[in-house]
Structure 1
Amino acid sequence: MLVRSPGWAAFVPDEVIVVQLYSRDVGDGTPLVLLHAFPLSSAMWLAQREALAERFRVVTPDLRGFGGSPLGTAEPSVDVMADDVAALLDAKGIDRAVVGGLSMGGYVTLAFCRRHPDRVLGAVLADTKATADTETARADRLRIAERLEADKTVDVLLEGLLPRLVGPTTMRQRALIYGRVRGLVQSAPASAAAWAQRAMAARPDALETLAGLHAPALIVHGAEDEITTEDDARAMAEALPNAELTLVPRSGHLPPVEQPQLFNEAVGEFVAALGRTIR
């Protein structure tokens, strides 16, 4: 279903159409919106819905084209994805929320902070980065997008990306987790994956967005991540006026999946502290 979001003239060009995102919405309390990694879906947040919904309202949407959400007709853009999230909050009657994302979800979170700063109670940025792609990285994304469109399968992601999504500890000791991540990658539609690659390739540098963000932020980074680096995480923490950095041991690119207890503890403490400040 396609909807136009009312009252967004200051943020959205006249003809931009947002899609109605499918989401899981559980619990009560301070709203916590979690945006998934590429090329997964909101299914990756299972452990967060189970644990954090005991204390907060946890909303986990499928970003456009993934899971139960339609791809729509808009040109690839993380800004469009951020506006989809804002429309979802409108539909749910949520004025402000802690908005967080991992990897691609982090890029969307940064776009959301830039386009809808008054709606950000706090930000969680996990295993992501604020800098734009290098020319080499951008060309690689576009090459992968072209192959996804030509093959009409996600085989290229299973070959190149999947082995890097989890850390070596998970690969050695947690075969079930690796199998679950593989299943999520296999479930991604090739068309959505190609669209998202083009959107990420076109994203702008977001360091200026971080410098202007007045809401508190939590930076989370898996110590064994081979996709984003600890330097990326520290650069975001240094650019933010009010941020804390948590390194998650024995985790690669997906701490919420690989080390859910440690991730949940860090995010739970962060959101609880924010909830106390607004009472």
Structure 2
Amino acid sequence: MAELPLVLLHAYPVDARMWNGVREPLAARTRLITPDQRGLGRSPLPETGREPSLDDAARDVLALLDKLELDRVILGGCSMGGYVTLAVLRAAPERVGGLVLIDTKATADTEEARGRRLAVAERAESEGITGWLADTMLPTLLSEATRSGKPEVVETARQLIESQSPEGVAWAQRAMAARPDSRDALRGADVPTLVLVGEQDPVTPPDAARELADTAPDAKLVVLPGAGHLTPLEDPQGVTAALLDWLP
């Protein structure tokens, strides 16, 4: 794992600016790459004619590695970024020399969760996202401690959400709804793995993170006190410390 670049993939429904709080100290230690994913941030949404799939998002990551002439990297992501990380692992395990799984899971959606995603996708396309998406998402994405005590983090998260395109939001939701179970790929990944989770994450709580860490052959679990689902925004110092302690 030594000297491998670190690629971090952002969560939904934000973009690579969510890594701003960890960028400087990590970049001082290793080569850090934080792309926007398709349809979010500054990355366009290609018209493929295919049903939305995180396999296409994984192909985007592999194309970026090819462009940068990187054979192997430490790959990680937060929430949806973790799903895409596991999609890359399924497609090209030889390109992954280490895993960082932040507030994410390897299981597929339940039917209920899938239905909620598809409803959000349809609403985003019909109404846009202004005035409702951030209000709906913030109580799920940020812990009560963050929402009551860190107004600047709440405002940053709101701005990130509201700057996304409705089309990108809808694509991401449909792609996540269609994702398969990735536990077999993770069980077969014989690489060092860091699992990070916010103590107050309601989406992928610490118990789910422990299951994720137990699935990987060589995993370390770190629980960040007081943080919710977007730990790199809520506790950038904690995320940075965990990564710097784990990196070779």
CA shift for structure 1 position 30: 3.2
Aligned 8 A contact 1:214 1:241 in 2: yes
Q: Please say if residues 4 and 97 of structure 2, whose CA atoms lie closer than 8 Å, have aligned partners that are also in contact.
A: no
Structure of higher RCO (CA pairs closer than 8 Å, 6+ residues apart): 2
Residue of structure 2 in register with 1:234 after alignment = 210
Matched AA of 2:187: A
Which letter does structure 1 place at the counterpart of 2:189? L
Q: Tell me if 1:213 matches 2:186.
A: no
Structure 1-normalised TM-score?
0.85
CA shift at 1:256, angstroms?
1.0
- Which residue is 2:222 aligned to? 246
TM-aligned CA deviation for residue 39 of structure 1: 0.5
Report the counterpart of residue 5 of structure 2 in structure 1: 31
Give, in angstroms, the shift of residue 205 of structure 1: 0.6
Q: Which amino acid aligns with 1:183?
A: Q
Q: Post-superposition, which runs of at least 4 consecutive aligned residues in structure 1 deviate over 4 A?
A: none
1:234 corresponds to which letter in structure 2?
R
Structural mapping, 1:131-150, within 5 Å? 131-150=107-126
Are 1:56 and 2:5 an aligned pair?
Answer: no
Structure 1: runs of 5 or more not aligned: 1-28, 274-279
Which of 164, 173, 187 is residue 188 of structure 1 equivalent to? 164
Aligned length: 244
* Residue matched to 1:158: 134
CA contact (8 A) 1:147 1:156 kept: no
CA change 1:154–1:226 in 2 (3 A) is: farther
- Aligned sequence identity (%): 48
* Structure 2: gaps (5+ residues): none
SS in 1 for 2:34: strand
The superposition leaves residues 109-153 of structure 1 with CA deviations (integer Å, 9 ceiling, x where unpaired) of: 010111110011100000011110000000110011111111123
Q: Which amino acid aligns with 1:80?
A: D
Conservation of the 8 A alpha-carbon contact between 1:144 and 1:156: no
Match of 1:78 in 2: 54
Shift of 1:103: 0.3
Indicate conservation of the 8 Å contact 2:55/2:88, yes or no.
Answer: yes
Q: How far 1:154 moved relative to its partner?
A: 4.4
C-alpha displacement of 1:155:
3.7
The alignment yields a C-alpha RMSD, in angstroms, of 1.1
SS at match of 2:28: coil
Residue 102 of structure 1: aligned partner: 78
Q: Equivalences for 1:88-127 in 2 at 5 Å?
A: 88-127=64-103
